[in-house]
Amino acid sequence: MRKNNFHLIKGKKKEKDSRVEKLKRAAVWFLAVILFLFIFRHLFTWGYSRVASYFVNTYIVEERMIDNKFSREGLIVREEKLIAAPWEGYLLWAVEDGERIGAGKVVAEIVEEVSSETVEEEEELREASNSHETLDPLEVENKTGVMVDNIRENVVKGNMITARDYYQELKYFSQEVMVRKNFSSGKSKIVTPFSGIAVFQTDGLEDLLTPDNVNFLSYEQMQDFEPKIRKINSGERVRQGAPLVKIVDNYSWYFSVYVNSSQADKIRDKGRMQLSFDFAPGEEVTARLYDVDEDEDNKYLVTFIITQHLEGFYLHRQVKADIIYDSSRGITIPSSALVYKDGEPGVYSVEKAMVKFRPIEVVSSFEEELLVEGLSTGRLIITNPGFFKEGLYISGLGQDR
């Protein structure tokens, strides 16, 4: 009997089921990866938003005045007259420090203890007092002129020590002429022939740093001055010739400062500007250009005249001042808020907790501030934009400032 040979033919259904299972598993993994990435992105964005809320710095846009200025150290120069002690004794003040007084006012008394040992000294003081009344006016004028010329000549040559010696000589001689003494019962009154502010603090530069002398000083000489601050309290014993009080002109005073060429040009163009001094923060005075002098090193000594009272101007000599030569009013933002998008300047504005780019036009810059157009007042902007990007949601804001 003939045998039939049978062959097993592999079915295709099982192969098809296997491929379907693989596709299903791949699809599930793909969807899982997509879901994971979506969740990760959402959590990352949420977390970044939460973290960003703690580090964001914001600024509320406002319209205000900003200043174009530069800061320099200079010298306050005043019209002031120094009164020295005409003899030794105990000082008793008759006025208050910083008080405005008129000419002929008794500013102090010097009390001497009368004893047998001081009779001879009192007689000498009386003789000295009488000699003051008989000084020849022409002699006074000539002698004073020679001393002033000697001071200026030595200042120009840079001989500041010699100039100071001549100044001391002039100061003592001036007291013989200016100070009137009424001596009786051991008491002497010192009367001022000047009007102004009585200032008890002296620095030894009263007759050297004057409006007439300041143009003779070089930049280096102005830096070399070392004030010798002295203030005598009531009841202290003073020696003859010791500086007691200075009478400061309260109608006008000066500020001299060295600047470069471009700054000198700006000052010349304006003529009148505002000054803000470090000893009176928050206050400004109007200053008018008094003189500009160029030295051999192309430095410019600029002197301003000020006719406004500023509390404490009579106590300070070397000070720092902001020289405000231009002011503008408009929309201002911190320069740190500026950001660029495709080369266009703008800011990141926070609107409904979303960061949005707002283009602006920068009109001018003033140190750390910008005068801009294209923003409305009250808008909240980010001042540290480097940590943020457009479209970011910020769940909380930093401190507004």
Q: Delineate the domains of the chain, giving CATH numbers in brackets.
A: 56-65+329-387 (2.40.420.20), 71-327 (no CATH)
Q: Determine the pLDDT at residue 121.
A: 43
Six token digits for residue 346: 């703008």
Q: CB neighbours of 384 closer than 8 A, spacing ≥ 6?
A: 55, 56, 57, 336
pLDDT(255) > 90: yes
Confidence of residue 186 (pLDDT cuts 50, 70, 90): very low
Q: Name the more confident of 301 and 220.
A: 301
Which of these ranges, 58-72, 104-118, 247-261, has the smallest mean pLDDT?
104-118
- The backbone torsions φ and ψ at residue 154, rounded to the nearest 5 degrees and listed phi first, read -75, -30
Q: Determine the pLDDT at residue 171.
A: 63
Strand pairing report for 272-277 and 243-259: unpaired
Q: Name the more confident of 3 and 195.
A: 195
Confidence of residue 76 (pLDDT cuts 50, 70, 90): very high
Confidence of residue 113 (pLDDT cuts 50, 70, 90): low
Q: Name the more confident of 212 and 182.
A: 212
Mean per-residue pLDDT, 131-142? 55
Q: For the segment 39-53, what is each residue's pLDDT rounded down to a tens digit?
A: 756 555 555 555 555
Choose among 292, 385, 359: nearest CA to 52.
385
Q: For the segment 318-345, what is each residue's pLDDT rounded down to a tens digit?
A: 899 999 887 778 888 888 889 898 889 9
340 burial type by CB count under 10 A (0-12 exposed, 13-18 middle, 19+ buried): exposed
Torsion angle, alpha carbons of 127, 133, 136, 139, to 10: 70
Mean per-residue pLDDT, 147-152? 78
Q: CB neighbours of 29 closer than 8 A, spacing ≥ 6?
A: none
pLDDT(31) > 70: yes
Strand pairing report for 230-231 and 354-359: unpaired
pLDDT(357) > 70: yes
Choose among 211, 232, 189: nearest CA to 80.
211
Q: Determine the pLDDT at residue 400.
A: 42
pLDDT(134) > 50: no
Calpha distance 95→106 (Å, rounded): 8
Calpha distance 331→371 (Å, rounded): 6
Which of these ranges, 45-49, 80-84, 250-254, has the smallest mean pLDDT?
45-49
Choose among 190, 197, 217, 219: nearest CA to 90.
190
pLDDT(184) > 70: no
Q: Determine the pLDDT at residue 10.
A: 54
E-state strands within 167-317: 180-184, 187-191, 196-199, 201-202, 230-231, 237-238, 243-259, 272-277, 285-294, 300-306
- Give yes or no for a contact between 76 and 259, defined as CB atoms under 8 angstroms apart: no
pLDDT(127) > 70: no
- Give yes or no for a contact between 362 and 47, defined as CB atoms under 8 angstroms apart: no
Confidence of residue 8 (pLDDT cuts 50, 70, 90): low
Confidence of residue 69 (pLDDT cuts 50, 70, 90): confident
pLDDT(309) > 60: yes
Strand pairing report for 196-199 and 243-259: antiparallel
Q: Which DSSP category does 166 fall into?
A: H
Q: Determine the pLDDT at residue 185.
A: 39
For the chain, give the percent of residues with pLDDT over 90: 15
Calpha distance 301→40 (Å, rounded): 67
Continuous segment of H or E residues that includes residue 344: strand 344-351
Calpha distance 359→345 (Å, rounded): 6
Q: Determine the pLDDT at residue 118.
A: 39
Choose among 168, 213, 199: nearest CA to 77.
213
Q: Determine the pLDDT at residue 313.
A: 92
Q: Which DSSP category does 128 fall into?
A: H
pLDDT(117) > 50: no
Burial 201-217 (b: 16+ CB within 10 A, else e): bbbbbbbbbebebbebb
Calpha distance 213→244 (Å, rounded): 23
Q: Determine the pLDDT at residue 119.
A: 41
User: CB neighbours (10 Å) of residue 184?
Assistant: 8
Mean pLDDT for the chain? Answer: 77
pLDDT(282) > 60: yes
